[in-house]
């Protein structure tokens, strides 16, 4: 299948600029990072967006929206010149703002004023977003912090490959993990584990490593290479070798 030359070998970097400002210390318990993307595409471009376990607040083309966790990849059409300003909340830590189960917005986008139950002013810069969040900070939620810590541990410990093993490490039950992840993350722990393990594969692609796919599949806990390819394709929208061509 032919593909857009702008998505091969890092060519997209000639058309896009990215920055990732860190949150102020008082907002760091809620916000993982801010992100700003600008682009200039004379011809329309379909941008592949890989899923992650964060809820995002975005400001683009006059629309302020909250995006729940996406269970699979998506594509965003970029045409002409444009800019989007976004907030990536720490996994689990948008629940106090939403005041209901984060699973209610999984695979959905909702107007920001509905998610926050108030008007969200249009920001010019990150400082404007921070003023809004700071003025409407929710009450402390120890469970949100606990869940965020569990997700961070999944990301930091490659040996975590199964939900039952994670439950044992935390001295809790699989059912409790599933319930708390639905409430606070919006998607199950099995998906989060798979996402972080597969992310390790994409990081090697970014670094330009020559990859032994069968060996990598075994290293990530897969019984065989076909299972790894199936999960990778479902998560990122294309096969590992095709995805590697982006770098």
Contact 47, 105 (CB under 8 A): no
Strand partners, 109: 67
Lowest mean pLDDT among 65-74, 144-153, 166-175, 211-220: 211-220
| Per-residue pLDDT at 217 exceeds 80 | yes
Domain boundaries, the chain: 5-135
The pair of three-digit structure tokens given for residue 170, joined into one six-digit string: 């935390």
The answer, yes or no, to whether residue 216 has pLDDT greater than 80, is yes
Average pLDDT, integer, range 213-237: 92
Tell me what the pLDDT averaged over the chain comes to.
95
- Give every strand in the sheet of 56-60, ordered side by side: 16-19, 31-49, 74-89, 56-60, 63-67, 109-111
Using only C-alpha atoms, the chain has a radius of gyration, in whole angstroms, of 19
Other beta carbons within 10 angstroms of residue 175's beta carbon come to 9
Work out the pLDDT band at 1, boundaries 50, 70, 90. low
Mean pLDDT of 207-235: 90
Among residues of the chain, what percentage have pLDDT more than 70? 100
**Per-residue confidence (pLDDT) for residue 230, from 0 to 100:** 95
Please write down the HEC assignment for all residues of the chain: CCCCHHHCCCHHHHCEEEECCCCCCCCCCCEEEEEEEEEEEEEEEEEEECCCCCCEEEEECCEEEEECCCCCCEEEEEEEEEEEEEEEECCCCCHHHHCCCHHHHCCCEEEHHHHHCCCCCCCCCHHHHHHHHHHCCCCCCHHHHHHHHHHHHHHHCCCCCCHHHHHHHHCCCHHHHHHHHHHHCCCCHHHHHHHHHHHHHHHHHHCCCCCCHHHHHHHCCCCCHHHHHHHHHHHHCCCHHHHHCCC
So what's the pLDDT on residue 191? 97
> What pLDDT score was predicted for residue 101?
98
Residue 99 has a pLDDT of 96
- As assigned by CATH, the class of the 5-135 domain is mainly beta
Tens digits of per-residue pLDDT, 95-126?
999 999 999 999 999 999 999 999 999 999 99
């Amino acid at each position: 299948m032919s593909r857009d030359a702008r998505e091969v070998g890092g060519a997209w970097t000639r058309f896009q600029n990215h920055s990732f400002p860190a949150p102020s210390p008082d907002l760091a318990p809620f916000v993982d990072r801010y992100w700003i993307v600008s682009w200039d595409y004379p011809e329309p471009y379909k941008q592949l967006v890989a899923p992650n376990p964060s809820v995002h607040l975005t400001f683009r083309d006059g629309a302020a929206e909250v995006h729940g966790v996406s269970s699979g990849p998506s594509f965003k059409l970029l045409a002409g010149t444009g800019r989007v300003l976004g907030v990536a909340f720490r996994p689990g830590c948008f629940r106090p703002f939403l005041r209901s189960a984060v699973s209610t917005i999984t695979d959905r986008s909702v107007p920001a004023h509905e998610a926050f139950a108030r008007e969200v002013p249009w920001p010019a810069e990150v400082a404007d977003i921070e003023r809004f969040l700071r003025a409407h900070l929710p009450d402390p939620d120890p469970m949100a912090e606990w869940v965020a810590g569990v997700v961070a541990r999944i990301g930091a410990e490659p040996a975590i490959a199964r939900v039952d093993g994670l439950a044992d490490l935390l001295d809790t039950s699989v059912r409790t993990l599933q319930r708390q992840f639905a409430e606070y993350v919006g998607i199950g722990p099995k998906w989060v584990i798979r996402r972080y393990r597969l992310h390790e594969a994409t990081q090697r692609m970014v670094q330009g490593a020559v990859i032994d796919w069968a060996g990598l599949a075994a290293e990530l806990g897969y019984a065989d290479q076909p299972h790894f390819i199936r999960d990778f394709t479902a998560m990122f929208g294309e096969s590992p070798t095709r995805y590697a061509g982006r770098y």
